[in-house]
Structure 1
Amino acid sequence: MRLLFLDFDGVLHPQDPESTGLQHFCWLPFLARLLEPHDDVRIVVHSTWRYDHTDNELRTLLGSLGPRFVGSAPRAPREQAIEMVLGANKGTVVSHLALDDAAKEFSGSTVNLLLVEPHLGLSDVRVQAALSQWLSGRPS
């Protein structure tokens, strides 16, 4: 199994979507399209939305990707929460990638991080290309 750790704000929509005329989760279709041929990829939400929403609510927010949702990261700083999930699933996770727009949340640990621009998120073709490389198993 491969795990995709997912932030919402700045990744699936701009940090402040209303100010840009966009809606929450407006970039979710990009992710759905990229993940479609990769049945082994599961999603763990590490977004701060996990503090205000239940796992069932997060699953619903993910729309067509809801069936891939396996849970939210524990309450801890993002990097630490991701490391905790990876540690708890050692031996079953063959690869992981964290999508996030907040570099300050990560200190350079073993987390495989794909940083995105908060105003572009998954709409950025460079991010889509890097995600495609990870999904295809090619080094980036």
Structure 2
Amino acid sequence: MLYLDFDGVLHPEDVWRRRGSGPYDATPPGHTLLEHAALLVALLAPYPNVHIVLSTSWVRILGSVRKTAHRLPPALRARVVGATFHEEMDAYLFAGMPRGMQVWADVQRRRPHGWLSLDDDGEGWPAMAREHLVLTDPVLGISEPSVYSAIQAKLAAIGAFSDACSGQV
């Protein structure tokens, strides 16, 4: 299972939203939204049993897992099985939790055989979850060479597992 943030992972973390036109990358110049999605497709290609749970705030902002996943390329979209936030949750309570606790709560709910989280926010991660986090560069995201290598190593470690909870949303 891969827990996926977008901002600071698939593109620089400074993303804003315009009413009516959606999210846009504010800084630095020359970057685009989801610019590193193809890198993630390549990283995941050897591991067809690795599913994605969206841990991005985009799910709350766009209003659904489906709308958020639709922004991803088809190869990633097909792997999405849900999000750390879902409609039965209190949005304000959830938003007040550190990202690490949001992910950890979802891991406790889904109980994947193996999991990894890609995020540029390292604050508030419980000790038992930190080993599953690959902390990304806030601007370069997963394209930063040491981050890319760390993801490869962690995927190899969990890649042999298939998630029994692949259908859970």
TM-score class, shorter-chain normalisation, is 0.7 to 0.9
Q: Which residue of 1 aligns with 2:10?
A: 12
Which residue identity does 2:43 align to in structure 1?
L
Alignment deviations for residues 56-81 of structure 1 (CA, whole Å, 9 cap, x no partner) = 11121121200100111025222222
Alignment of 1:58-69 (within 5 A): 58-64=68-74, 65-69=76-80
**Shift in Å, 1:107:** 4.5
**Alpha-carbon shift at residue 106 of structure 1 (Å):** 2.3
Q: What is the aligned counterpart of 1:94 among 95, 113, 116?
A: 113
Mapping 1:63-82, distance limit 5 Å: 63-64=73-74, 65-74=76-85, 75=91, 76=94, 77=97, 78-82=99-103
State the identity as a percent: 29
In structure 2, give the amino acid aligned to 1:127: V
Q: What is the CA deviation profile of residues 66-114 of structure 1, one whole-angstrom value per residue up to 9, with x for unaligned ones?
A: 0100111025222222122211222xx1111111111224243425111
| 3-state SS in 2 of match to 1:123 | coil
**Residue matched to 1:131:** 151
1:18 is displaced (CA, Å) by: 3.7
CA offsets 1:15-53 (integer angstroms, 9 cap, x no match): 233432211000111100110121110111111111112
Query: Structure 1-normalised TM-score?
Result: 0.87
Task: Identify unmatched segments of 5+ residues in structure 1.
Answer: none
Q: For residue 163 of structure 2, what is the aligned residue in structure 1?
A: none
Residue 120, structure 1, aligned to residue 120, structure 2: no
RMSD between aligned alpha carbons?
1.7
Moved over 6 A (4+): none
Gaps of 5+ in 2: 15-24, 86-90, 159-169
